[in-house]
Amino acid sequence: MKYRILGRTGVKVSEIGLGTWQLGGTDWGNVDEKDALMILHKSVEMGVNFIDTADVYGMGRSERLIGKFLKETKEKVYIATKLGRREWIENNGWPAKYTIEMVKRDIEDSLRNLGVDCLFLEQWHCIPTEMLKSGEAFELVENFKKKGLLQHWGCSIESIEEGLICMEHPGCETLQVIFNIFRQKVSTDLLPVAKQKNVGIIARVPLASGLLAGKFKKGHKFSEKDHRNYNADGTAFNVGETFAGVPFEKGVELAEKIKEILNPTDDISMAQLALRWILDHDAVSTVIPGATKIEQATSNANASLLSPLSTDVFEKLRDLYKKEIEQFIRGKY
């Protein structure tokens, strides 16, 4: 595993981290506790030291499993969590504004779930653009940073516009953004600014919910409890979080074309090459693929050790994006 600095936090994080939405057990089908703990242990054995979670993944289950894992491991692991969507879920809509009481409750619950005294990184969890513009949410987390309940804060965002707004605040040390071969605009419109401002980039949905592993066939049916079923067209939340916003059947077709360019072998999988493409952008600090199986987590971690992709592969993927992918991206971008 190789390590990079996470923006102004100054902390060395693994190039490949671990996303743990799956460990909530609610939006990707069930992942049982034993497997969840094995995914965490195996990842850390492979050198992963950065784990992303959120208070709402399984309404605390993902955080609690990580808390249990932290008691079992001797390794130093940096946990990034999120706040802000619990209000949206519990009240069926966004609050008019976040209050200090709401934020205090969310932070204290995350601390309790994770079993720590101070959060390493707290991220606003895709709250509305208008709330980012007003900046009030930022001042609230600043307040808890001063009180010592969190070390750093950042934002998980849905669009480039939102990323640019967040980076205006000097306290925002990280941005979590959907970045993968389907969403190449990020590399030209967001990453250069993040690099210049030294904001750490955390790349989420790197495999477009599994499409970029090249494993799905047209007509594939996902279980009812899987967001790739119930949010395939964005009926539950931002469509970009599911298949990176590409309609599933089109995504399968495009993944076939991407596979031909990436040219995976028996030893190097398409998923690993898709992760490598992200790592070849030096403004990215860490990529956080999610995993429902232990083998996925171990294989993903190894993408850090692959050689960079060639300029020829990069150009072909850029060309494909411009001609055949960009027009199909739905949702905020």
Ligand X SMILES: NC(=O)c1ccc[n+]([C@@H]2O[C@H](COP(=O)([O-])OP(=O)(O)OC[C@H]3O[C@@H](n4cnc5c(N)ncnc54)[C@H](OP(=O)(O)O)[C@@H]3O)[C@@H](O)[C@H]2O)c1
Binding stretches for ligand X (CB under 6 A): 19-22, 28, 52, 82, 125-126, 156, 176, 204-210, 213, 215, 241, 271, 288-293, 296, 299-300
**Owner of token pair 């609050």:** 95
- The distance of closest approach from Cβ of residue 318 to ligand X in the complex, given in angstroms and rounded to an integer, is 20
- The distance of closest approach from Cβ of residue 311 to ligand X in the complex, given in angstroms and rounded to an integer, is 25
Residue placing its CB nearer to ligand X in the complex, 35 or 253: 35
Residue placing its CB nearer to ligand X in the complex, 9 or 209: 209
- The distance of closest approach from Cβ of residue 218 to ligand X in the complex, given in angstroms and rounded to an integer, is 16
Comparing C-alpha atoms, which of 35, 9, 5 is closest to residue 22?
Answer: 35
- The distance of closest approach from Cβ of residue 292 to ligand X in the complex, given in angstroms and rounded to an integer, is 4
Residue placing its CB nearer to ligand X in the complex, 84 or 144: 84
Separation of CA 171 from chain center: 20
Tokens of 119: 């959060």
Separation of CA 59 from chain center: 18
CB 251 within 8 Å of CB 211: yes
Tokens of 54: 């959120």
Tokens of 87: 């209000």
Q: What order do you get walking across the sheet with 50-52 strand by strand?
A: 18-19, 50-52, 78-83, 119-125, 150-156, 172-178, 200-204, 284-287
CB 48 within 8 Å of CB 17: yes
Residue placing its CB nearer to ligand X in the complex, 21 or 69: 21
3-state secondary structure of 182: coil
- The distance of closest approach from Cβ of residue 224 to ligand X in the complex, given in angstroms and rounded to an integer, is 15
Comparing C-alpha atoms, which of 223, 226, 259 is closest to residue 241?
Answer: 226
Residue placing its CB nearer to ligand X in the complex, 150 or 323: 150
- The distance of closest approach from Cβ of residue 154 to ligand X in the complex, given in angstroms and rounded to an integer, is 11
- The distance of closest approach from Cβ of residue 148 to ligand X in the complex, given in angstroms and rounded to an integer, is 25
Phi, psi of 217 (to 5 degrees): -110, 155
Residue placing its CB nearer to ligand X in the complex, 133 or 225: 225
Residue placing its CB nearer to ligand X in the complex, 89 or 315: 89
